[in-house]
């Protein structure tokens, strides 16, 4: 019963969601909207549980003075400060909005900006001409990178009215072989998604229930 | 909020999708019946999945934990479902080898599911005492805040093995590069085509696209699930034939789009 009931519930709800995609009856649409609302409610409840777990984890680290417990103190302080700011001053304007615009948002942008350096580090390691495939990758990478900047258009030649440049070659690499490979991957992913969804719907795959196969 | 439709009845423009879904479901059922009769089913070798056992063993020998990231999306995304299914298999191995498993999660719903999956895996292996609820926890929902939290775990705990399975966005390279810096062996699997190049650069093994969905089947080798894999491959073969015929017909002007 502990396994059968969730599988049956999943099958019934999944079946309703599957049917509503093909039939536009108002009752089915209302059910779809209701399920979306329930999802938000479940998310909210799970968020509370997750936050409680987070507070407990960091609280224990502070209490036991574990290694790097200072970061846990910063985490809990930030959590309490933002909650108080939101409850006291409201979420529209006031200290809550100030903390988002002047603290959280710049920090997010900073980490996003750091990504450029991580890309450079990964590219330095990956673009080494050790094999034929790696050499092809390196050459294609150079062409595409140069083709994306102004010099890509300048590096080229004209034959009559036609202009052949690195920018054009870069565009061809992205539009033809790269796009073909991407579409192949997407077709495989689409089939994988469909098969996995059907497995879940039909109760064939049960690992997500935590009960094993 | 999706607005209510005015019309009622079957949406005729979607019939190809209905036929495809029913055909795939039929293929799955047929192949499950076939593999139940004969479980000798050939599945090509997937290096990334073959390396899972070796990767967990490496962490055990080094006395360091295993880190598993189940992706950035919630449980309503199929990639996350696939990742959680693989988590069950990885957890069974870490329980068997008595290796610590860390699963920091971004989504609170995924956190609860992951806790259940890991606890059940440890119980099934006869080691419920090794399960630590604190190791499977919710971090934060912020995208880059979560990436930094994972970075901090990698730099402090120094896991010997990192698994990245599920759907990822811009934060993928931050986590993968940090793991590379710590010297961990890294296995990634994602259906996000835009993040695949980053994982291929930064990780030792990468599962591309549909290989992620084959993960739990490949690791468990259960006949019932192997049948679904064969059905998926057969569907892909049908799609390839249809693409070839369609391309030929269009190129020779036998058929033109209306």
What CATH number does residue B208 fall under? 3.40.50
For residue B188, being part of any structural domain is answered with yes
| pLDDT for position A155 | 83
| pLDDT for position A70 | 93
Helix (H) or strand (E) holding B104: strand B101-105
CA-to-CA separations, A23 to A17, A18, B158, in angstroms, rounded: 10, 9, 52
For residue B204, being part of any structural domain is answered with yes
Structural domain of B100: 47-219
DSSP sequence for B160-187? SEEEEEE---TTHHHHHHHHHHTT-EEE
ipTM here = 0.86
Which segment, A162-171, B23-32, B95-104, B202-211, is predicted with the most confidence on average? B95-104
Q: Which residue of B has its CA nearest to A66?
A: B156
The total number of structural domains that make up chain B: 1
Query: According to DSSP H, which parts of chain A are helical?
Result: 4-22, 26-63, 69-89, 94-99, 105-126, 132-147, 150-154, 166-175, 177-201
Give the pLDDT confidence of B103-114 residue by residue, as tens digits. 999 999 999 999
For residue B157, being part of any structural domain is answered with yes
| pLDDT for position A125 | 82
Give A111 to chain B, closest Cα distance, Å. Answer: 7
A79: tokens are 């959590």
* Cβ-Cβ contacts under 8 Å for B223 (sequence gap 6 or more): B35, B36, B39, B41
Per-residue pLDDT tens listing for chain A (213 residues): 777 888 888 888 888 888 888 888 888 889 889 999 999 999 999 999 999 999 999 999 999 999 889 999 999 999 999 999 999 888 888 899 999 999 999 999 999 999 999 998 888 888 777 888 888 888 898 899 888 888 888 888 788 888 888 888 899 999 999 999 999 999 999 988 988 888 888 888 877 776 544
Q: Which residue of A has its CA nearest to B189?
A: A189
Interface of A with B in 120-159 (CB under 8 A): 121-123, 125-126
For residue A169, being part of any structural domain is answered with no
As beta bridge partners, residue A164 has A157
Read off the pLDDT band of B3 (50, 70, 90): very low
Structural domain of A40: 1-89
Read off the pLDDT band of B66 (50, 70, 90): very high
| pLDDT for position B4 | 46
For residue A29, being part of any structural domain is answered with yes
The answer to whether A60 contacts chain B (CB < 8 Å) is yes
| Best A69, A133, A196, A200 residue to mutate vs chain B (most B CBs within 10 Å) | A196
d(CA A179, CA B18): 27
| Best A137, A181, A188 residue to mutate vs chain B (most B CBs within 10 Å) | A188
For residue B138, being part of any structural domain is answered with yes
Give A117 to chain B, closest Cα distance, Å. Answer: 10
For residue B105, being part of any structural domain is answered with yes
Mean pLDDT, residues B68-78: 93
Largest CA distance in chain B: 68
Give A171 to chain B, closest Cα distance, Å. Answer: 17
| pLDDT for position B119 | 95
CA-to-CA separations, A90 to A47, A96, A104, in angstroms, rounded: 20, 7, 17
For residue B70, being part of any structural domain is answered with yes
Mean pLDDT, chain B, rounded, equals 90
Say if the Cβ atoms of A196 and B81 lie within 8 Å: yes
**Helix axes B108-124 and B78-97, enclosed angle (nearest 10):** 40
The total number of structural domains that make up chain A: 1
The answer to whether residue B129 scores a pLDDT higher than 90 is yes
The answer to whether residue B41 scores a pLDDT higher than 80 is no
| pLDDT for position B6 | 47
Rg (CA), chain A: 27
For residue B187, being part of any structural domain is answered with yes
Among the partner-chain residues B79, B84, B134, the one whose CB lies closest to the CB of A57 is B134
* Cβ-Cβ contacts under 8 Å for A10 (sequence gap 6 or more): A200, A201, A203
* Cβ-Cβ contacts under 8 Å for B91 (sequence gap 6 or more): B101, B117, B118, B121, B122
Which segment, A158-162, B44-48, B163-167, B232-236, is predicted with the most confidence on average? B163-167
Q: Which residue of B has its CA nearest to A61?
A: B134
Helix (H) or strand (E) holding B250: helix B223-251
Read off the pLDDT band of B8 (50, 70, 90): low
Q: Which residues of B touch A194 (CB under 8 A)?
A: 20-21, 24, 235
For residue B146, being part of any structural domain is answered with yes
């Amino acid at each position: 019963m502990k396994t059968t009931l969730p599988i049956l519930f999943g099958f019934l709800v999944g079946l309703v969601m599957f049917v509503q995609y093909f039939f536009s009856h108002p009752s089915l649409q209302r059910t779809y909207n209701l399920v979306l609302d329930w999802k938000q409610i479940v998310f909210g409840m799970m968020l509370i549980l997750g936050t409680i777990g987070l507070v407990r984890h960091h609280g224990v680290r502070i209490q036991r003075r574990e290694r790097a417990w200072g970061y846990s103190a910063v985490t809990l302080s930030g959590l309490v400060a933002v909650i108080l700011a939101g409850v006291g001053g409201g979420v529209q304007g006031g200290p809550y909005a100030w903390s988002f615009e002047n603290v959280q948002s710049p920090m997010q942008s900073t980490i996003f900006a750091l990504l450029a350096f991580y890309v450079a580090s990964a590219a330095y390691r990956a673009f080494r001409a050790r094999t034929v495939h790696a050499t092809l990758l390196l050459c294609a990478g150079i062409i595409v990178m140069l083709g994306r900047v102004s010099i890509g258009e300048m590096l080229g030649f004209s034959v009559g009215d036609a202009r052949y440049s690195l920018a054009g070659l870069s565009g061809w690499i992205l539009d033809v072989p790269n796009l073909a490979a991407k579409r192949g991957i997407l077709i495989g992913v689409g089939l994988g998604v469909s098969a996995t969804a059907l497995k879940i719907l039909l109760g064939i795959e049960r690992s997500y229930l935590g009960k094993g196969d | 909020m999706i607005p209510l439709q005015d019309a009622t009845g079957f949406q005729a423009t979607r019939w190809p999708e209905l036929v495809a879904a029913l055909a795939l479901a039929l293929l799955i059922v047929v192949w499950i019946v076939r593999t139940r009769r004969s479980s000798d089913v050939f599945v090509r070798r997937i290096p990334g999945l073959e390396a899972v056992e070796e990767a967990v063993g490496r962490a055990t020998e080094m006395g360091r934990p295993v880190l598993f990231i189940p992706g950035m999306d919630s449980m309503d995304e199929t990639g996350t479902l696939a990742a959680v299914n693989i988590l069950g298999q990885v957890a069974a191995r870490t329980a068997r080898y008595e290796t610590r498993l860390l699963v920091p999660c971004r989504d609170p719903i995924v956190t609860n599911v992951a806790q259940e999956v890991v606890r059940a895996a440890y119980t099934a292996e006869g080691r419920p005492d090794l399960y630590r609820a604190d190791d499977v926890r919710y971090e934060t929902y912020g995208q880059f805040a979560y990436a930094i939290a994972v970075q901090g775990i990698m730099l402090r705990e120094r896991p010997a093995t990192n698994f990245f399975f599920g759907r990822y966005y811009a934060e993928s390279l931050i986590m993968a590069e940090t793991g590379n810096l710590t010297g961990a062996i890294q296995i990634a699997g994602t259906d996000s085509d835009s993040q695949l190049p980053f994982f291929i650069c930064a990780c030792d093994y990468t599962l591309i696209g549909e290989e992620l969905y084959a993960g739990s089947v490949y690791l468990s080798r259960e006949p019932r699930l192997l049948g679904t894999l064969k059905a998926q491959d057969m569907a892909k073969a049908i799609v390839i034939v249809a693409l070839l015929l369609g391309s030929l017909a269009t190129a020779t002007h036998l058929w033109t789009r209306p």
